[in-house]
Amino acid sequence: MLLNITHRTRYDYDPAVATAHHILHLTPPNMIHQEVIAHSLNIEPYPGERRSSVDIFGNISTYVAMNSAHEFLDIVAMSQIVTNVPAINQDTLTMDWPIEWGQVQAHLEYRAEAKWSEAVQYLFASPMVPIHSDLKDYAAISFNSQSTLLGAVRNLMERIHHEFIYESKSTDVNTPVLKALAQKKGVCQDFAHVMLGCCRSMGLAARYVSGYLLTLPPPGQARLIGGDASHAWVSIYCPTDLETMQGVWFDFDPTNNKMGLYSPGNDYVTLATGRDYSDVSPVRGVIQGSLEHTLKVEVTVEPF
């Protein structure tokens, strides 16, 4: 699928900001399932300093410094992406990928050599996702009913999708994951954090994925939730060889009950991955000199 993405973030300050420093995660990477055809990142006012680098998780991050007073900050990221997600048959998933989650758990627990660090770094509690008995108890229902890794995680995704209510403004970016679990409602970030906590509490490697979802679906297809903003889902490490622990990442979107190899589908674009939202927030930083601000975010994803 060929997708055209526009992501605009605008801050208006009152009074003006004297100086500011920001880290942006707004540049999609080339990955096995997506190719970046074109990308631009326009920032107004023009920053006094700007540089890009690759962070510890492999994401493209951009640092900007605003060294003079400014009353607004307008950031527009535009990308053209080609997605190519491998087709899988979910009905034969447990036969095609028969590896048991208990085997994976045991290998990850006792084998943490550097060559497996890609998965190991996603085993532990992170700033926004604790390891907790409540999360383990919720996950255990799925894992006790399914022996295979992908079967258990799929069941967990389906339960979150059906048992939780998607409700805008019921949470914010700082809502604790245990609160989201208790009230069983929130937005895609909360659904992803709950699923991360459940999988990690069971001893599995799970990472947070931020990205985009097609805003307007093709004719005859249902519109998915989360298409008017940046989206979030979960990626689970699935070893293909327990001796070497080499493997692949399967993505699960509990908000929309979709899964796939490397991505939930061709209508998704991966922007960044990390331990939780705090690692991949599109814009974060420090400002000096303003008491109040308003924020407006607009995301459009459409075929081209």
DSSP secondary structure string for all residues of 125-170:
-BTTB---HHHHHHHHHHHHH--BHHHHHHHHHHHHHHHSEE-TTS
Please give the structure tokens belonging to residue 156.
């967990």
Mean pLDDT of all residues belonging to the chain: 91
pLDDT for the residue 114: 47
Of 176, 173, 195, whose CA–CA distance to 255 is shortest? Answer: 195
User: Does domain 2-83+280-303 match CATH 2.60.40.2250?
Assistant: yes
Bridge-based pairing state of the strands 60-66 and 231-241: unpaired
Name the residue with higher pLDDT: 289 or 258: 258
Tell me the percentage of the chain whose pLDDT exceeds 70.
93
Q: Which whole-number Å values give the CA distances from 172 to 168, 190, 207, 277, 281, in the listed order?
A: 9, 9, 20, 12, 13
Q: Which residues contact 284 (CB under 8 A, 6 or more apart)?
A: 22, 23
CATH annotation of 90-279: 3.10.620.30
Q: pTM for the full model?
A: 0.93
- Predicted confidence (pLDDT) per residue in 104-124, tens digit: 998 887 655 545 557 888 999
The model's pLDDT over 123-171, given as tens digits with 9 standing for 90+, comes to 999 999 999 999 999 999 999 999 999 999 999 999 999 999 999 888 8
Task: Look at residue 31 and give its three-state secondary structure.
Answer: strand
Confidence of residue 89 (pLDDT cuts 50, 70, 90): confident
Q: Which residues of 153-170 are buried (b: 16+ CB within 10 A; e: fewer)?
A: bbbbbebbbeebebeeee
Q: First-to-last CA distance in the chain?
A: 9
Q: Where are the domains of the chain?
A: 2-83+280-303, 90-279
Summarize pLDDT for 225-240 with one digit per residue, the tens.
Answer: 555 678 999 999 998 8
Q: Give percent above pLDDT 90 in the chain.
A: 77
Burial profile 35-51: b = 16 or more Cβ within 10 angstroms, e = fewer: ebeebebebeeebeeee
Bond before 254 cis per omega within 30 degrees: no
